[in-house]
Structure formats: C-alpha cells, structure tokens
Amino acid sequence: MNSLPIGIFDSGVGGLTVLRELRRLLPAEHLIYLGDTARVPYGNKSHATVTRYALEDVQFLLSRGVKMIVIACNTASAIAAPTLREQFPDIPILGMIGPGSRAAHAATRNGKIGVIATAGTIGSGAYEARIRATFAASGGAPVEIHGQACPLFVPLVEEGETDSAITRLVAEKYLAHLREAGIDALVLGCTHYPLLKKVIAETMGPGVTLVDSAGAAAAETAALLESRSLLHPDGDRTPPHIGLNHFYVTDAAARFHGIAESFLGHRVERLDLAELGPGL
C-alpha cells in the first residue's frame, strides 16, 4: 500500500505547481498526474459540470491504483470536494481550500485577508467559509475577507506573459482595491498564480504576504500520509529513492509538454506522458 502512487488532478497544466511542491517535499513518492486539457478551463463552468468532470478525474486516478488523491485544481476543490469525499469515502482526498485557508490564518497579523482565484472559486464562497471557520476554531479573532476573481490571469500565464507590461496592468486592475483595503495576506487561490508571484508582490507592496496554496497543500499531503502511516517506505533512505512521475492528459500532449517546464520550474528532458480521450 505505502509504495502506491499519489494521484493528482487538475483542469490542465496548472496543477504542476502542486506536483512541483510535492516532488520537492516527498522525493520517494510515485506521482500520477492527470491534466484534463480537453475540458480546461474549469474556472468559468457551472457547479454541475465541474463536479461531473472531477468525478471522472478521480475515477481515472483510482483505476491506476493510487493511495490518495490531491485535488490540485482550486476550482474543483472549491466546488466538488464534498461530493468527491462522499462518493469515495475509502480514500484520503485533499483539496486546496483547507491548506490555503490555514496558511492564510497563520500569515495574517491584522486579520485582513485577500483571496484571488477563478470566478468559480470566488463565486463558491469556499475560501471565505473555510477561513472564517479556521478563525472561529482558533479563538474567534475578527477577520475581514476580500475576494477577487481574476479571470485574465490564467490565459496570461499560459501565454507566457508572467512578467510583462500587460500583466502589470491587469494586476493593477484586479488588485488595487485589495491594496487599498489594507490586507496583509493574499491567498493565491489558483494553480496558475504562483507563476505571477513577482508581479503580484510588486503590485501589492512589501507589507503583504503572498500565501501559496500549492505549497500549503503539499505540506499537508506529507502530514496526512505520515499520520496514516502511508509514506513510501524508501523515504527514510539517504538519499531517498526518487519516485516516478507519470503524466496523463485528455488532449494536446505536445502543448502540455511545451508549457510544463515553466510550471515545474526546471527543464524536463523527458515527460512520461500519455494522451487519453476527453471523458477519459
């Protein structure tokens, strides 16, 4: 059981920011990544559609024999996580909302928190509810939450516009009122936003901590596996055995390979990549 892979899914390439953090923290684990590139984006689709896609994504990963599921997509986490946990009660399922919310609670000093994400994630209210619950559970300090959908960020990142004049302009449009509201922590509630950290940090100014939900989710994955005695047995070796990465996409494998490097943050000589049909 312990040497089985961790299954990770996202609407497309973005979840590679989560895979990158998992690989860094858990070098011995085998990782299976599913990117639903045929049906991306999830961020502007209805709850019913996102939930149906997410159910199919999990079913695919379970068919590969995984020991746990990480929902690397914030939109799928916000909308479909409760249904997934209900439908698949026997497997641990970790989404992005809990880890991101707990990291925001730890990061803020003044209790004013911004959340940026897709329209679907912001519209669901999932981050807001979880952040409020986290504050309530740890003493009930007052909290003020400012949500902002940033739909243009995803295509800008996918077109490689991570540090350009147009991206700075868009960032100013989305973020100015969060800056003016005096937030001191900003949750990057979408897979693509860690790639915009530089522009977002410069737009917000030095007093604002950026909360990377990808890093927080990877840390909680490690903690969850450890608490259930599910870590790969070779993790104790020095140096640890290096786990395998397997990538599956539902469309356009060549394009996926092309932008995977920017999301993974390093050159990829060979991507072990298989293409499935839409609907898997």
Q: Give the residue closest to ligand DGL by C-beta.
A: 43
C-alpha to C-alpha distances, 132 to 95, 144, 227, nearest whole angstrom: 17, 9, 26
Q: Using the minimum distance from each CB to ligand DGL, give the nearer residue, 36 or 112.
A: 36
Q: Using the minimum distance from each CB to ligand DGL, give the nearer residue, 51 or 232.
A: 51
Which two three-digit tokens encode residue 94?
């970790």
CA 11 to chain centre: 10
Which residues are CB-contacts of 236 (< 8 A; sequence separation ≥ 6)? Answer: none
Is 73 one of the annotated active-site residues of the chain?
Answer: yes
Which two three-digit tokens encode residue 200?
């977002």
Q: Which of 186, 190, 195, 200 is catalytic?
A: 190
| Residue 154 touches ligand DGL, criterion: CB under 6 A | yes
Question: Rule CB under 6 A: which of 94-153 touch ligand DGL?
Answer: 118, 121
| Residue 37 touches ligand DGL, criterion: CB under 6 A | no
| Residue 51 touches ligand DGL, criterion: CB under 6 A | no
CB atoms within 10 A of CB 38: 18
Find the part of the chain contacting ligand DGL (CB under 6 A) among 21-29, 36-44, 61-69, 221-229: 36-44
Q: Which of 61, 73, 93, 185 is catalytic?
A: 73
Q: How far is the CB of 77 from ligand DGL (least distance, A)?
A: 8
Question: Rule CB under 6 A: which of 193-252 touch ligand DGL?
Answer: none
Find the part of the chain contacting ligand DGL (CB under 6 A) among 41-49, 106-114, 122-130, 169-177: 41-49
Spatial contact of 121 and 189, defined as CB atoms under 8 Å apart: yes
Q: Using the minimum distance from each CB to ligand DGL, give the nearer residue, 149 or 231.
A: 149
Q: How far is the CB of 250 from ligand DGL (least distance, A)?
A: 13
> Phi then psi for 206, rounded to 5 degrees?
-70, -20
**Contact letters for ligand DGL, residues 252-271 (x by CB under 6 A):** --------------------
Question: Rule CB under 6 A: which of 4-33 touch ligand DGL?
Answer: 10-11, 14
| Residues that bind ligand DGL in the complex, under the rule CB under 6 A | 10-11, 14, 40-43, 73-75, 118, 121, 154, 190-192
Just list the catalytic residues. 73, 190
